[in-house]
Structure 1
């Protein structure tokens, strides 16, 4: 399984592609489960770059753990949550405050 991630060009925020738009949480990411869906994500990446919406686009490997999207690489887990040294910063802090 794969998802598409990038950084939004306007503010550098880590974003994920979700059915025609870029969202700020990994939970909303569109999941590609076959080669055709992966090709569609790559096409969306090319559009995002061409429209100057995002930079540093990457199709990444993920798995679903207890119904939650979980990136396989540590780098992508950190990008999804925030700094590992401060739980009060990044996306992880937004989740804690929302609970």
Structure 2
């Protein structure tokens, strides 16, 4: 018996800056996880991944990451993905500074 499909988001790294990015439903790349398209169908997830892989001028290493619906949009399921939403861990700037004021 096959397992139920876990919802996904498409994530990658921005080609020039290296920031973590997420594919949105309207085909933009966003640096905000909650703006990502939450994909709840396995076939659609594979199509979205193929689309992301074709975006070589803007995204590196796209893959599907498990996610769950949240009150403000998709939320990461695994520690690794939650960690990636916070940005680089070697110094405080960007997302880390912005989140420390919240």
Query: Following superposition of structure 1 onto structure 2, how do residues 1-99 of structure 1 map, counting pairs within 5 Å?
Result: 1-18=7-24, 19-49=26-56, 52-82=57-87, 89-95=93-99, 97=101
* Aligned-residue CA RMSD (Å): 2.3
Whether contact under 8 Å (2:19, 2:87) holds in the other structure is no
CA distance in 2, matches of 1:92, 1:37: 33
Q: Runs (4+) of structure 1 moved beyond 6 Å?
A: none
Kindly tell me: are residues 24 and 47 of structure 1, through their superposed partners in 2, closer, same or farther at Cα, counting changes over 3 Å? same
Greater fraction of residues in helix: 1
TM-score when scaled to structure 1?
A: 0.77
Greater fraction of residues in strand: 1
Stretches of structure 2 that go unaligned for 5 or more consecutive residues are 1-6
TM-score when scaled to structure 2?
A: 0.75
Residue correspondences, number: 95
CA distance in 2, matches of 1:80, 1:27: 10
